[in-house]
Structure 1
Amino acid sequence: MGQEYSAPRPGTKLRVIGAGLPRTGTASFTKALSMLLDGPVYHTGTQSTLGPEREVKTLIEMLRLIKTDIDPADRAKALALMKGQLDGYAAVTDAPYCSLAPELLELYPDAIVICTTRDVDGWTRSMSGIASTATQGFLRFSLYLLPSMRWFPDYIDALIVYYGVLTGLPTPEAWARHVEKLKRSVPPEKLFFYDVRDGWEPLCNILGVEVPEGVEFPRINDGKALDAFAKKQIRTGLLRWVVVFGSVAAAVGAAVMARG
């Protein structure tokens, strides 16, 4: 995931739709884009967990509406939610927006689509690890007292209902389907593939900007960042429950003593 919540900048035009699946260097990609585009980037994993509750609640509602194309009214509402969430950002990355490139191009027709890539076997192993962590049942209890994070289990449920991002996604076949969908639904002149291990030059070529002189390409380990964040949030949540239970126990004890 990314490093910190990014607030929108009014008037900023969305120029890049990040279509890379989670664990393809999206945190490094996000940081690099924010530097090259000189604007805030919406990294969905970070915004949904470190931002105000409206971020994750909007994503849950959007996923509920966009999961089917049967009702045009629901789809229109979903697109309106997307626009309300992404206006003011120079780019968007991470799930679920990485799988909504066609819809985002409807809203931002001048944007380009960049899909971050990596070796498929490594991606499959990495995603399988996050799947087992994110779906553990105790998360709902341990995170309940934390703003924004209390909605995280519902957000995971919405992702699973939408396209099985944490249960059915981590397979080579799913990777191939994602790439094929992009090639089928995005105009070829707007679609680019990029590996963050290649650094500045290919990304700058795609964007048509100069390579930053003397600036090291950001290297953020998505897996380590996510693991550290998850452990910190669970620990904080459980400590808050300890305080709650301790306060209740103290109150009960005081009441008993007062009666005695």
Structure 2
Amino acid sequence: MKVIGVGFGRTGTLSLKVALDELGLGPCYHMSEAIRAPGHKRMWLAGAQGTPMDWEAVFAGYRSTVDWPACFFWRELVAAYPDAKIILTGRDPEKWYASTYETIYRLSTWVARVAAPLFPTARGMAAMTRAVIWDGTFGGRFEDRAHAIEVFQRHMKEVVEEVPADRLLVYDVRQGWEPLCRFLGVEVPEGRPFPHVNDRDAQKAKIARARRLVGAGVAVAIGVAAAAAVFAALRGGG
């Protein structure tokens, strides 16, 4: 593990992931990996519930990590990888809260309410994100804006106080390549713009697509169930 990103989600973490991959410091672990990788949702859920994490197993094949769920365990990771460099992504707290509420919080609550009862993968995602983010990080009070912002600001302060300055970069992805590459000791990629991905509009578009897909899945499931009921009735009739 070469780089550990300890900033909360919606602070440019996906842009940082893409940047680290481009700099040769990937593959970089991100929430998208946690959702996709077999068994990882269960591992993170267990970790949030107090089971000791096997970091070598979780991060096998990865050279860096950003975003939740890993940043929830930032103290353990800073200690487990003493040679890794630490990046704390941040942004204006008010803008961070608005972005988080309108994107990943709305998506998470919708998944838990609509998709989780129907699909095992959605159930695993809902359980993991609730345990790590909404309950684990925010104590079940994310909708309390003042509380959530206080948690965000306290996290930023504690990282700065506890991580040695020579290991830490406090970073805004709007700063681009220069401070990131200087901190990591690598060359700025020539002729390649810094990646800026997953802004609020893009995230909302993803949520809309997910809702359409789940709606289609529900319609198919209802159709299959209805066909099965008709078939059973026909068989029962002789």
- TM-score, scaled relative to structure 2: 0.86
Secondary structure, aligned partner of 2:136:
helix
Partner Cα distance (1:107, 1:120) in 2: 29
Give the corresponding residue for 2:6. 19
Paired amino acid for 2:41: V
Q: Is the Cα–Cα contact under 8 Å of residues 144 and 237 in structure 1 kept in the other structure? A: no
Q: Is the Cα–Cα contact under 8 Å of residues 20 and 93 in structure 1 kept in the other structure? A: yes
Q: Is the Cα–Cα contact under 8 Å of residues 34 and 41 in structure 1 kept in the other structure? A: yes
Partner Cα distance (1:35, 1:20) in 2: 20
How many residue pairs end up in the alignment? Answer: 233
2:73 aligned with 1:100: yes
2:216 aligned with 1:243: no
Give the corresponding residue for 2:123. 150
Paired residue for 1:209, among 182, 186, 210? 186
Secondary structure, aligned partner of 2:128:
helix
2:142 aligned with 1:163: no
Q: Is the Cα–Cα contact under 8 Å of residues 140 and 150 in structure 1 kept in the other structure? A: no
Paired amino acid for 2:191: G
Partner Cα distance (1:106, 1:195) in 2: 24
Q: Is the Cα–Cα contact under 8 Å of residues 204 and 210 in structure 1 kept in the other structure? A: yes
2:23 aligned with 1:36: yes
- Percent of residue pairs bearing the same amino acid type: 33
Q: Is the Cα–Cα contact under 8 Å of residues 99 and 178 in structure 1 kept in the other structure? A: no
Structure 1 unaligned spans of 5+ = 1-13, 66-73
Structure 2 unaligned spans of 5+ = none
Paired amino acid for 1:46: S
Give the corresponding residue for 1:10. none
Partner Cα distance (1:148, 1:256) in 2: 32
2:39 aligned with 1:86: no
User: How far has the Cα of 1:61 moved from its partner?
Assistant: 0.9
* Pairing of 1:156-235 with structure 2 (within 5 A): 156-159=129-132, 160-164=134-138, 167-168=141-142, 171-235=148-212
Partner Cα distance (2:234, 2:153) in 1: 67
Paired amino acid for 2:126: P
- Name the CA shift for 1:129/1:151 in 2 (closer, same or farther; >3 Å): same
Aligned alpha-carbon RMSD (Å)? 2.4
Partner Cα distance (1:257, 1:173) in 2: 62
User: How far has the Cα of 1:89 moved from its partner?
Assistant: 1.2
- TM-score, scaled relative to structure 1: 0.80
Q: Is the Cα–Cα contact under 8 Å of residues 108 and 129 in structure 2 kept in the other structure? A: yes
Partner Cα distance (1:213, 1:138) in 2: 41
